[in-house]
Amino acid sequence: MAPTQNKDYYGTLGVKKTATTDEIRKAFRKLARKYHPDVNPGDRKAEEKFKEISEANDVLSEEKKRKVYDQFGFYSDNIDAAAAEAAARGGYGPMSGSGRSGAGRAAAGRGGQEVPFDFSGFDFSGFQGGPGARQETPTGGGGFRDIFGSMFGGGRGGAKQGAEPGTDLEYTVQVDFWTLIRGGVTKLEIQRRETCKTCGGSGARGGIAECPECHGTGEVTQMGGRMKFNIQCPRCGGAGKVQNACPACEGSGVLQRKEPLEFRIKAGTRDGQRIRLAGRGNAGSHGGAAGDLYLVIKGGTNPVFTRKGDDIHVTVPVTIAEAALGAKIDVPTIDTHEGGGRTLLKVPPGVQTGQRLRLREKGVPSAVTEGLRGDQIVEVKVMVPKVQDERSKEILRELAKLNPEDPRESLFAGI
């Protein structure tokens, strides 16, 4: 991560400096939902705000980065977290006492104010001008400037800003019940960032100009507490010059576009399944690789069938006579939807409401294993007729005399 100028990351996320990691992440998620580019298409201010909160979350949600930021007021990958921790414990406190060499003190800023660093434990014999100094070679170091340059990314020879990969996208797709079972083609419209055709994704167009950030020097000044550092300019990468921004994409290399998408649903795809389309997410900046597109399937329902995994559940009513004597009845299956014949189910004598019977391999084809298919689970529901004529009532009374068992006897026995 490139060094950043002093920024109030806590203020950006709206949390206190004593906030826990969970509180920081919750604050970020709340703001991300508000300022995400997909929620605010074409809104440059929302896009910049999203970048700010993402940067703040990246630093504050990671313990080592947060220690560096809390100590110095900014973060750089080139600062060791252990050094920041030592500074927090007072390791970089004001220097005092006698016996230290002139190198043990350094002035920074105006008025010769002491820099809170203690160099008394360093061996300076290898630097030009010190006791036993050696001559500087073409590949050797050049003194304090080189030390701090390597620590904080300074120097004019740094690499220019590199390509940044695109972000992933996720869409929820409504797919009807039968398409998930049989497969088919689904269409939807998505919003994604695509590579700018005017500049080819480079973000630049035309000639080269002086960097407005460092005014051509390749360096910017960074404050860290009482210390002042010259670091590599994050905008031009230390080159001191930048190319003119592309007018079409304003230098970002990408443009927001609506795009129709057509994709195939495999037979047996389940509700909640995530389908990954590689390279169909947001395009990367400055030639970076595109992200991926994830489609979350939201399956439709059916008034007759209920799907659970690869099994199909259906409730089938039976008459009292069929339940008592047993019978072979017709039941619908998902094959019936395509004009197939009805399937016969053998109902055993004495079947009760709620009892489940299984039809092997009458469920949904597996989207994972070729040739494998789920079952159909048939739940029986005994239908009691509405008796109105006296003859039917007489028959039922005779049936009750012939079968005097009390169905509630076990209920009271359990008490």
HEC secondary structure over 4-52:
CCCCCHHHHHCCCCCCCHHHHHHHHHHHHHHHCCCCCCCCHHHHHHHHH
Digit-coded pLDDT (tens) for 235-290: 777 888 877 778 788 777 788 889 899 989 999 999 999 999 999 998 887 778 88
Residue 111's pLDDT band (cuts 50, 70, 90): very low
380 within 8 A of 318, measured Cβ to Cβ: yes
Residue 226's pLDDT band (cuts 50, 70, 90): low
Report the relative pairing of strands 311-319 and 376-383 from DSSP bridges.
parallel
Please count the other Cβ atoms lying within 10 Å of the Cβ belonging to residue 94.
10
- Is residue 390 packed enough to be buried (19+ CB in 10 Å), middle (13-18) or exposed (0-12)? exposed
Residue 115 pLDDT more than 90? no
Q: Provide the pLDDT for residue 223.
A: 72
53 within 8 A of 12, measured Cβ to Cβ: yes
User: Span 151-158, mean pLDDT?
Assistant: 40
Q: Provide the pLDDT for residue 270.
A: 93
Q: Provide the pLDDT for residue 178.
A: 94
189 within 8 A of 295, measured Cβ to Cβ: no
CATH T-level assignment (fold) for domain 306-414: HSP40/DNAj peptide-binding domain (2.60.260)
169-299 architecture in CATH?
A: Sandwich (2.60)
pTM, whole model, 2 decimals? 0.52
Would you say the CATH fold of 306-414 matches that of 169-299?
Answer: yes
Residue 312 pLDDT more than 90? yes
Q: Which two tokens stand for residue 111?
A: 């008025």
Q: Which of 55-64, 110-119, 206-215, 239-248 has the lowest mean pLDDT?
A: 110-119
Alpha carbons 255 and 283: distance in angstroms, whole number: 9
Q: Provide the pLDDT for residue 116.
A: 42
Residue 165 pLDDT more than 70? yes
276 within 8 A of 169, measured Cβ to Cβ: no
Residue 380 pLDDT more than 90? yes
Distance of CA 313 to the CA centre of its chain: 35
Q: Provide the pLDDT for residue 73.
A: 79
Alpha carbons 142 and 129: distance in angstroms, whole number: 12
9-152 architecture in CATH?
A: Orthogonal Bundle (1.10)
Least Cα distance to 342 among 376, 303, 293 occurs for: 376
Least Cα distance to 187 among 176, 203, 198 occurs for: 176
Which sequence spans correspond to the domains of the chain? Answer: 9-152, 169-299, 306-414
Q: Provide the pLDDT for residue 204.
A: 75
110 or 239, higher pLDDT = 239
Q: Provide the pLDDT for residue 5.
A: 54
Report which secondary-structure segment, H or E, holds 311.
Answer: strand 311-319
Alpha carbons 57 and 268: distance in angstroms, whole number: 40
User: Span 315-332, mean pLDDT?
Assistant: 94
Percent of the chain with pLDDT over 90: 37
